[in-house]
Amino acid sequence: MPALTFSSVSKSFGSSEVISDFTAEIPDREFLVLLGPSGCGKSTMLRMIAGLIDISSGDLLFDGRRVNELEPRERNIAFVFQSYALYPHLTVRANIAFPLLMDRFRWWQHIPGIWSIERRRAMRLPEVARKVAEIAEIMELTPLLDRRPKTLSGGQRQRVALARALVRDPSIYLLDEPLSNLDAKLRSQMRIEISTMYQKVGKTFVYVTHDQVEAMTMGTRIVLLDGGIIQQQGTPTEIYERPANAFVARFIGSPAMNLIPVEVAHGGVRIPDAGILPVSDAPVAAGQSVTLGVRAEKIALAASGETDSTGTSRSSSASAPRRSWGSGSGMRRPRRSVPARCATSTTRASPVRSTSPSAIRARSA
């Protein structure tokens, strides 16, 4: 049974719909990345999963059970907010311990006055102290445990927020751009920490980011959103290799996929000023305009006069782009066949095969 099921989930603020018809099934123990540009609705999705905002229409299920009306505390989730949401009057130690105290406290222990006495007492319990010390060590927060959030840098605060989420044992972890304020080095370190933590705890993670590198390196599954609409969902490899449309092709990969307007011709596609590129199974009839997508690493240079697997003879017309790619001993040998993708902005990608010089010319144009 999937851990998370979204059935036509939509969210509107007033008359503006920010999530439309979100449908997905997320198997247990996936590391799901919600990916997309700023404002596409990633945090809104996470807040609906957490129960912090209502779902306007559709159903959300945890392990097959509808949770639309459940209170956040009934959902057994841990949430790392984009804005940290630390308690300013509590130390780092108390902030990290906070979810552990909430899990064990009864109603009367929340009464003001009693709460601070009970909190101090609970903080000294060996199992609480041990868990806090353990997670602080992993997050490199041990020297900061007695400081208050306002004395910490943005990156340190973010690590405290992460530690607070990871200290508990929830069924789902929700993380909203948890690494956005860290420098490049710490960011890549923390990516590894979170991935290790994910493997260790064996729970479902939902991780929001607009950084496709983060998504590709951390996620076991990606849902790519634009304007509140799912553009594609699948494994990182599926999305990279078979982008569903031009938006996905542009968004995923660094450098981005080259998108070249071409016209379908008999036996291939006509690239402006470059001739016919042979295509094994063009998706539409000859004469139609489509967009040819080619990943840079799928292109190899061939020596003049060599023949590729399609039987296309190479001509000296490749000489100009060759110069722009380097020459002499640095030149790569051609591959026998080079897969690429051909897609229009509305149709699914279809495979093409070629190493013809015209592809190389088109790439350098």
Q: Where are the alpha helices (DSSP H) in 30-153?
A: 42-50, 92-104, 114-123, 126-138
Nearer to ligand ATP, 85 or 133 (CB): 85
Q: Is 164 in the site for ligand ATP (CB under 6 A)?
A: no
CB contact at 8 A, 30 and 13? no
| Least separation in angstroms between CB 318 and ligand ATP | 42
CB contact at 8 A, 35 and 236? no
Q: Which amino acid is at 255?
A: P
Both tokens assigned to 256: 């981005």
- Provide the mask over 38-67, with x wherever binding to ligand ATP is found by CB under 6 A and - wherever it is not: xxxxxxx-----------------------
CB contact at 8 A, 44 and 52? no
Binding to Mg ion (CB under 5 A): which residues in 39-68? 43
| Least separation in angstroms between CB 300 and ligand ATP | 37
Binding to ligand ATP (CB under 6 A): which residues in 7-36? 13, 18, 36
44 binds, among Mg ion, ligand ATP, none (CB under 5 to 8 A by kind): ligand ATP
15 binds, among ligand ATP, Mg ion, none (CB under 5 to 8 A by kind): none
87 binds, among Mg ion, ligand ATP, none (CB under 5 to 8 A by kind): none
158 binds, among ligand ATP, Mg ion, none (CB under 5 to 8 A by kind): none
| Least separation in angstroms between CB 227 and ligand ATP | 9
Residue recorded with tokens 């993670």: 205
Residue 230, strand partner residues? 225
CB contact at 8 A, 242 and 341? yes
| Least separation in angstroms between CB 40 and ligand ATP | 4
Question: Which 8-state DSSP code applies to residue 37?
Answer: S
Residues touching Mg ion, count (CB under 5 A): 1
Which burial class, exposed, middle or buried, applies to 185 when counting CB atoms under 10 A from its CB (0-12, 13-18, 19+)?
Answer: exposed
Binding to Mg ion (CB under 5 A): which residues in 318-337? none
Residue 63, phi-psi category: left (phi > 0), alpha (psi -120 to 50), beta (remainder): left
Both tokens assigned to 284: 């539409």
Q: Which helix (H) or strand (E) holds 24?
A: strand 16-26
Q: Is 254 in the site for ligand ATP (CB under 6 A)?
A: no
Q: Which amino acid is at 104?
A: R
| Least separation in angstroms between CB 39 and ligand ATP | 4
Nearer to ligand ATP, 40 or 216 (CB): 40
Nearer to ligand ATP, 12 or 142 (CB): 12
| Least separation in angstroms between CB 197 and ligand ATP | 23
CB contact at 8 A, 196 and 188? no
344 binds, among ligand ATP, Mg ion, none (CB under 5 to 8 A by kind): none
Tell me the DSSP string of 306-337: -B-TT-PBP-GGGHHHHHHH--GGGPPPPPS-
- Provide the mask over 183-212, with x wherever binding to ligand ATP is found by CB under 6 A and - wherever it is not: ---------------------------x--
Both tokens assigned to 164: 């607070």
18 binds, among Mg ion, ligand ATP, none (CB under 5 to 8 A by kind): ligand ATP
Nearer to ligand ATP, 30 or 177 (CB): 177
Comparing C-alpha atoms, which of 201, 231, 244, 230 is closest to residue 6?
230
Phi, psi for 234 (deg, rounded to 5): 165, -170
38 binds, among ligand ATP, Mg ion, none (CB under 5 to 8 A by kind): ligand ATP
Nearer to Mg ion, 7 or 10 (CB): 10
Cα 45 to the chain's mean position, in Å?
A: 14
- Can you give the binding site for ligand ATP, defined by CB under 6 A? 13, 18, 36, 38-44, 82, 210
- Can you give the binding site for Mg ion, defined by CB under 5 A? 43
